[in-house]
Amino acid sequence: MKITIVAGARPNFIKIAPIIKAIQKKQSVNNKLSFRLVHTGQHYDKNLSDTFFEELNIPHPNSNLEVKSGSQAQQTAAIMVAFEQELIENPCDLVLVVGDVNSTMACAIVAKKMNLKVTHVEAGIRSGDMTMPEEINRIVTDSITDYFFTTSTWAGENLMKYGAEASNIHFVGNVMIDTLYQNLDRISAPNFWNEFQLEKGNYIILTLHRPSNVDEEHSLIDLLKGIDKMVGDKKVIFPIHPRTKAILGEQKLELKNILMVDPQGYLNFMFLIKNSFAVITDSGGISEETTVLGIPCFTLRTTTERPETITIGTNNLIGISIENLEKVFGEFLQNGPRKAGIPELWDGKASERIIDILLSKK
Ligand code: UDP
């Protein structure tokens, strides 16, 4: 079986790393299994791409489509044109896409139109918010996927509502958590740890990159000022995403507690998360990681496609409201963290299950 694996953006790299490891492990007993890794070039900044390949030992991509930035349509179209050529030159049996970025959707469409089997890892999750480009990517990708791998039974139910056949839906767990477990003993403090006098539990991690939070400069600044005031004597480490940085430009904000740093590599970032007091974020992946690490998470969004991080895990859905953040954060300070657990099958073995199931398909 020849598998073409697609990855385009930071969260994709974290998700493909354990899948590739699982394939490599199987290759020692199955010489008919091979893979080709295609990087679409959607994220090309070293901090969002190369660092993850190096730290997570992901093989150098066989091909880089180098699409870079553009509008939604420009980027999707550029990926489709380049990926079609890639598949013509390098035929395969199956294309595996992960997550919900433009590369996921664009490559799934191209593969399906070339009559290849499409496999979607992290299928079936839904926020219900059609203003998110990711939601459109999820729906389109799942509408043409052959084999669905899910992180929850709820995701499988969503897929069946859209007409997917139960026999093609496989609840396997969470590949992002595979990566977390595989690297927990390698995580390390960033070089600013001593400089900022960070200690376990004396700081908060903040990440913001969703258009709904960062594209409007004034609301972004108000949000940052509100968080800066709310946290009392806690420092806030804010690894700033290039999209967010571009909006803030060079202006100096008068923030007492928030310390802006570059986007962190995976090993430093997970060390920071694991040792933090709490996390404030608009990321989906981070709400999964904090759930497994038992770190309280406050999500600045109105919806989530990962409800189990709230019902089972440590996540709190705040909305985009500093007032509500202050309220819920205040309750947390008063009552302490609530009791939380780890969702079913988030055990570090999802990737191996995926490869075993794919091999049983042929
Ligand atoms: N991440 C990282 N360094 C950072 C910020 C994030 O390594 O400075 C990792 C983290 O593991 C997270 C993943 O990148 O789960 C994806 O984060 P992002 O918020 O970009 O994507 P989303 O999960 O919202 O799609």
Q: Which pLDDT tens digits describe the chain residue by residue (362 residues)?
A: 999 999 999 999 999 999 999 999 999 998 899 999 999 999 888 999 999 999 999 999 999 999 988 999 999 999 999 999 999 999 999 999 999 999 999 999 999 999 999 999 999 999 999 999 999 999 999 999 999 999 999 999 999 999 999 999 999 999 999 999 999 999 999 999 999 999 999 999 999 999 889 999 999 999 999 999 999 989 999 999 998 999 998 888 899 999 999 999 999 999 999 999 999 999 999 999 999 999 999 999 999 999 999 999 999 999 999 999 999 999 999 999 999 999 999 999 999 999 999 999 86
Contact 258, 184 (CB under 8 A): no
SS3 content of the chain, % helix, strand, coil (to 5): 45, 15, 40
Does residue 271 line the site of ligand 1, with CB under 6 A?
Answer: no
Known catalytic membership, residue 209: yes
Does residue 13 line the site of ligand 1, with CB under 6 A?
Answer: no
Does residue 8 line the site of ligand 1, with CB under 6 A?
Answer: no
Helix (H) or strand (E) run with residue 310 in it: helix 308-311
Q: Do domains 2-173+346-361 and 203-335 have the same CATH topology?
A: yes
Contact 314, 207 (CB under 8 A): no
Residue whose CB lies within 8 A of the most ligand 1 atoms, among 58, 236, 286, 287, for a mutation test: 286
Q: Which two tokens stand for residue 225?
A: 């000022």
**Side-by-side strand order, sheet with 147-150:** 63-64, 34-39, 2-7, 94-98, 117-121, 147-150, 169-171
Give 266 Cα–ligand 1 centroid separation in angstroms.
8
Ligand 1 atom having least distance to the Cα of 100: 25
Give 10 Cα–ligand 1 centroid separation in angstroms.
7
What is the CATH code of the structural domain delimited by 203-335? 3.40.50.2000
Find, among 95, 4, 83, the residue nearest to 42 by Cα: 83
Give 270 Cα–ligand 1 centroid separation in angstroms.
10
Does residue 190 line the site of ligand 1, with CB under 6 A?
Answer: no
Does residue 244 line the site of ligand 1, with CB under 6 A?
Answer: no
Ligand 1 atom having least distance to the Cα of 241: 8
Residue 362, pLDDT score: 63
Ligand 1 atom having least distance to the Cα of 282: 24
5 to 27, 121, 142, 215: CA distances (angstroms): 15, 11, 17, 31
Got the DSSP string for 147-190? EEEESSHHHHHHHHHTT--GGGEEE---HHHHHHHHHGGG----
Number of H helices, E strands in the chain: 15, 13
Q: Is 356 helix (H, G, I), strand (E, B) or coil?
A: helix
Q: Is 278 helix (H, G, I), strand (E, B) or coil?
A: strand
Delimit the domains of the chain by residue range: 2-173+346-361, 203-335
Q: Which residues pair with 120 in a beta bridge?
A: 97, 148
Got the DSSP string for 209-272? --HHHHSSHHHHHHHHHHHHHHTTT-EEEEE--HHHHHHHTTPPP--SSEEEEPPPPHHHHHHH
Contact 42, 103 (CB under 8 A): yes
- From 120, 170, 209, 241, the catalytic residue: 209
Ligand 1 atom having least distance to the Cα of 11: 16
Topology given in CATH for the domain delimited by 2-173+346-361: Rossmann fold (3.40.50)
- The whole-angstrom separation of Cα 236 and Cα 259 is 6
Does residue 269 line the site of ligand 1, with CB under 6 A?
Answer: yes
Residue nearest (by alpha carbon) to ligand 1 atom 14? 11
